[in-house]
Amino acid sequence: MSEPKTVVCPYCGFGCRLLVDPTTMRVKPYQGEPNRGKLCPKGLHATEFVLSGDRLKRPLKREGSKIRPISWGQAIEEIEGKLLEIRELYGPDAVAFIASSKVSNEENYLLQKIARLFGTNNIDNCARLCHEASVHALKMTLGAGAQTNPYEDLEGFNAILIWGYNPAETHPVVMDYILKARRKGAKIIVVDVRETRTMAFADYKLIIRPGTDIALANAVMNVIILDELYDEEFIKTRTAGFSKVRMAVRKYTPEYAEKVTGIPAETIREVARTFALAGSGAIMWGMGLTQHVSGVENVLAIIDLALLLGYIGEKGGLYPMRGQNNVQGAAYMGALSEFLPGYVPLTDERFRKRVAKIWGVEDLPTERGLYLTELWEAIEKGDVKALYIVGENPAVSEADFLGVRNALRKLDLLVVQDIFMTRTARYAHYILPASAFCEKEGSYMNSERRIQWSHKVCEPGGDSKPDWEILTMLGRALGLPGFDYSSVEEITAEYFRLFPSLEERSIEELKNGDGIFLPRKRLHTWEFSTPDGKARFIAVEQVQPWERPDYEYPFILTTIRLISHYNTGEMTLRSPSLVRLMGEPRVLINRSDAERLGIHDGDWVEIETRRGKIRMRAKLGGIPSGVVAVPFHFKANKITSPALNKAGTPELKFSACRVRKLERG
Ligand SMILES: Nc1nc2c(c(=O)[nH]1)N[C@H]1C(S)=C(S)[C@@H](COP(=O)(O)OP(=O)(O)OC[C@H]3O[C@@H](n4cnc5c(=O)[nH]c(N)nc54)[C@H](O)[C@@H]3O)O[C@H]1N2
Ligand SMILES: Nc1nc2c(c(=O)[nH]1)N[C@H]1C(S)=C(S)[C@@H](COP(=O)(O)OP(=O)(O)OC[C@H]3O[C@@H](n4cnc5c(=O)[nH]c(N)nc54)[C@H](O)[C@@H]3O)O[C@H]1N2
Ligand code: SF4
Ligand SMILES: [Mo]
């Protein structure tokens, strides 16, 4: 029997660690932090997709409608040649890179290094579709764009407000922390547009009209201010801008908010008082807030609420729960088009020059690159000619994906580096087979900013290579300085140099312990990361969704996640144990709406928006009249709204639609 290896779960951003037996590939939960002996079914069966017969085994090249294998050497040489040619003809910004929230810190670090040394900030990752609005709002108010406290703090708070977030399905293991707090007497408040699984554990269940969250947050603050339940000392010593919020929320009386949100005024009062009088509290949120045109404002509103009560640092925490296993790491490594590593703005000359020096060049490009969600129009316009995608499936995950697929067809060069022949890879000129998570070494960062090492368990499948090796070959072929890495640890050591708090830490420590928090376990305990150390209140008003229901399209369509399906399904659908657990995704429809439309449970229905239609079976109940919810995993984005918010995230949680019963599927 060989020793089991500790590996980071390849699915969600909670960041469980798995103990994998190299002989049997069986998984057991790691007993230490953060998962404390727990795993959800995805983690437990995480090695199955690695062993799938469907894995990409060798580099492929598409010629017309034919796809044929080619050697690694030839693939890299041809890709390098085309990239240089396109740069020569159209400049570096005609090339764009999409990084992956699924690959390690080292791999994301390398890809953004390639992009920037190549001469462009066109580097982004799926954070753009996800929590980028939270990053922007947190940077504007607190000066640091990440979760403030570790999971362990959740157990000690007296109230937990869960907003537009359904952890019982999306981060099952964090429920353990939440339920522990509840057993100690913490009040759990859940705000969602429908009855979620998470609500089963709530003391207060607030069903809100989609897209009206600011009205609710402002009304809660209105009550707290009127009742003088706010933390005056905290506001005076640690914040600026309170008077503007006080003014702005004046008109958001509970009665006014009831009309906008549908939540009874008395409930709003009770919840506001309960949350304020708890004395300590966390706010956890997810896609229900960020995936709106008002995404940034939605998050600003709940940050204002936390500031009002002093629930940041000691007495509370802000938990924008990150989606993918390494979305936090991808961001910290600089795989974002508006930030250098560590969320440092491109315009910060001192830091930029320091990074450039470490990379062996004078300076780096300073103009913001294209957001992932802006790429498709840029391709249509002919501004972007080549796209290099690592571990991302935009042909399914982007809003209004028919437009994305058209854009993919127009590229002069599309490279997809993945572990499977994804929907996106079908459009690629070159497809490069990457090794999966447990076939390689590297570090990952979870939602609480804990960097954890993931050990290699088995040899790479087929002729695949770890992403960092492929990127090292590419960087070297492009003639970029410093691409002579012969081990992943050399890349780890290089990124450690960029962060002052990591300078004293060692890779050995990272490999053997329970990880390292970047920059530290709790943020903002004494002062905020703003220039003057004070947090900013920023007043916000209710913002209308981009598309509104009308006579033609009377329903609101939102999109949701299911526990045993994961994002675009490439991994979960190749895991036989998970496939056995999976139910068929169904559209949720209110019972009285269904009755009016003659729809019974299990009937086939058509959901149509201005962008197209999809078919799905119906599941009745658990959702208010006028709203329908579709699991997003496979086809929802054929019809979702393309409108972007200030952080570049599409309004995936709000479109106008109509629903009709079909005689058959
Ligand atoms: N099983 C599973 N787990 C996952 C994933 C997966 O695909 N499957 N994906 C991972 C990723 S990438 C992410 S980002 C996270 C996301 O995790 P969550 O944010 O929990 O995921 P969602 O289900 O997209 O959205 C959360 C909730 O928002 C609600 N909502 C919709 N519109 C509104 C609104 O206007 N206001 C309010 N208040 N609520 C609204 C929905 O009903 C839904 O219950 O999950 C991660 N974990
Ligand atoms: N309507 C609607 N749309 C949404 C959302 C929504 O709530 N509603 N949510 C959005 C959100 S929050 C997110 S995060 C996105 C997710 O969108 P994507 O990131 O596009 O979705 P995934 O299915 O997670 O794709 C990950 C890819 O990485 C590949 N992969 C896995 N491991 C490796 C590896 O080691 N190396 C390489 N090279 N590849 C690997 C997988 O095979 C897969 O193709 O979807 C967004 N789209
Ligand atoms: S909760 Fe997330 S990290 Fe933990 S096992 Fe499940 S998918 Fe993996
Ligand atoms: Mo996400």
Q: Whose CA is nearest to atom 8 of ligand 3?
A: 43
Residue 582 backbone phi and psi in degrees, to 5: -70, 140
Ligand 4 centroid to Cα of residue 253, in Å, is 34
Q: Which of 170, 178, 587 to mutate to test the pocket of ligand 1 (most atoms within 8 A of CB)?
A: 170
Q: Whose CA is nearest to atom 17 of ligand 1?
A: 170
In short, whether 323's Cβ falls inside 6 Å of ligand 3 is: no
State both tokens at 328.
């936090």
Ligand 1 centroid to Cα of residue 425, in Å, is 26
Alpha-carbon distance of 122 to 94, in angstroms, equals 9
In short, whether 17's Cβ falls inside 6 Å of ligand 3 is: no
pLDDT tens-digit map of 282-306: 999 999 999 999 999 999 999 999 9
Grouping H, G, I as helix, E, B as strand and the rest as coil, residue 367 is: coil
| Mean pLDDT of the region 125-152 | 98
Ligand 4 centroid to Cα of residue 131, in Å, is 7
Q: Whose CA is nearest to atom 30 of ligand 1?
A: 288
Q: At what angle do helices 295-309 and 132-142 cross, to 10 degrees?
A: 40
Ligand 1 centroid to Cα of residue 322, in Å, is 10
Alpha-carbon distance of 293 to 275, in angstroms, equals 27
In short, whether 567's Cβ falls inside 6 Å of ligand 2 is: yes
Q: What percent of the chain has pLDDT over 90?
A: 98
pLDDT of residue 2: 82
In short, whether 7's Cβ falls inside 6 Å of ligand 2 is: no
Residue type, 487: S
Atom of ligand 3 nearest to the CA of 9: 8
Q: Which of 568, 628, 634 to mutate to test the pocket of ligand 2 (most atoms within 8 A of CB)?
A: 568
Q: Whose CA is nearest to atom 13 of ligand 1?
A: 323
- Ligand closest to Cα of 654 equals 1
- Calculate the dihedral angle through the C-alpha atoms of 473, 477, 481, 483, rounding to the nearest 10 degrees: 10
- Ligand closest to Cα of 261 equals 1
Non-local (6+) Cβ contacts of 515 within 8 A are 33, 450, 451, 452, 453
pLDDT tens-digit map of 563-600: 989 999 999 999 999 999 998 999 999 999 999 999 99
Alpha-carbon distance of 577 to 395, in angstroms, equals 26
Domains defined along the chain, listed by start: 5-51 (2.20.25.90), 60-129+325-451+460-517 (3.40.50.740), 132-321 (3.40.228.10), 555-661 (2.40.40.20)
Residue type, 494: E
- Ligand closest to Cα of 454 equals 2
Q: Whose CA is nearest to atom 10 of ligand 1?
A: 323
Ligand 4 centroid to Cα of residue 128, in Å, is 9
Atom of ligand 2 nearest to the CA of 561: 7
State both tokens at 656.
């106008």
- Cα-to-chain-centroid distance, residue 98: 14
Ligand 4 centroid to Cα of residue 380, in Å, is 26
In short, whether 448's Cβ falls inside 6 Å of ligand 2 is: no
Task: Answer whether residue 665 shows pLDDT above 80.
Answer: no
Residue 390's pLDDT band (cuts 50, 70, 90): very high
Give the CA diameter of the chain.
Answer: 71
Ligand 4 centroid to Cα of residue 322, in Å, is 7
In short, whether 129's Cβ falls inside 6 Å of ligand 2 is: yes
Name the DSSP letter for residue 330: H
Atom of ligand 2 nearest to the CA of 126: 14
Q: Whose CA is nearest to atom 6 of ligand 3?
A: 40
Ligand 2 centroid to Cα of residue 391, in Å, is 7
Task: Answer whether residue 608 shows pLDDT above 90.
Answer: yes
pLDDT of residue 1: 60
Return the number of other C-beta atoms located less than 10 Å from residue 624's C-beta. Answer: 17
- Ligand closest to Cα of 319 equals 1
Give the ranges where 143-293 is alpha helix by DSSP (H): 167-170, 174-183, 213-226, 232-238, 242-248, 254-261, 265-277, 287-290
Grouping H, G, I as helix, E, B as strand and the rest as coil, residue 374 is: helix
Ligand 4 centroid to Cα of residue 287, in Å, is 8
Q: Whose CA is nearest to atom 14 of ligand 1?
A: 323
Element (H, E) at 414: strand 413-418
pLDDT tens-digit map of 203-217: 999 999 999 999 999
pLDDT of residue 473: 98
Q: Whose CA is nearest to atom 38 of ligand 1?
A: 164
The dihedral region occupied by 454, where left means phi > 0, alpha psi between -120 and 50, and beta the remainder, is: beta
In short, whether 42's Cβ falls inside 6 Å of ligand 3 is: yes
Name the DSSP letter for residue 3: P
Non-local (6+) Cβ contacts of 11 within 8 A are 42, 43, 46, 324, 325, 566, 571
Q: Which of 11, 20, 564 to mutate to test the pocket of ligand 3 (most atoms within 8 A of CB)?
A: 11
Report DSSP letters for 83-97, one per residue: HHHHHHHH-GGGEEE
Alpha-carbon distance of 343 to 104, in angstroms, equals 17
HSE-up (13 A, CA, CB side) for residue 59: 19
Grouping H, G, I as helix, E, B as strand and the rest as coil, residue 8 is: strand
- Ligand closest to Cα of 542 equals 1
pLDDT tens-digit map of 7-33: 999 999 999 999 999 999 999 999 999
In short, whether 10's Cβ falls inside 6 Å of ligand 3 is: no
Ligand 2 centroid to Cα of residue 321, in Å, is 16
Atom of ligand 2 nearest to the CA of 323: 14
Task: Answer whether residue 109 shows pLDDT above 70.
Answer: yes
pLDDT tens-digit map of 490-549: 999 999 999 999 999 999 999 999 999 999 999 999 999 999 999 999 999 999 999 999
pLDDT tens-digit map of 304-341: 999 999 999 889 999 999 999 999 999 999 999 999 99
pLDDT tens-digit map of 229-250: 999 999 999 999 999 999 999 9
pLDDT of residue 642: 96
Answer yes or no: are the C-beta atoms of 95 and 120 closer than 8 Å.
yes
pTM: 0.98
Residue 371's pLDDT band (cuts 50, 70, 90): very high
In short, whether 443's Cβ falls inside 6 Å of ligand 2 is: no
Ligand 3 centroid to Cα of residue 512, in Å, is 21
pLDDT tens-digit map of 158-172: 999 999 999 999 999
Closest CA to 207 of 625, 574, 492, 662: 625
Atom of ligand 1 nearest to the CA of 562: 1
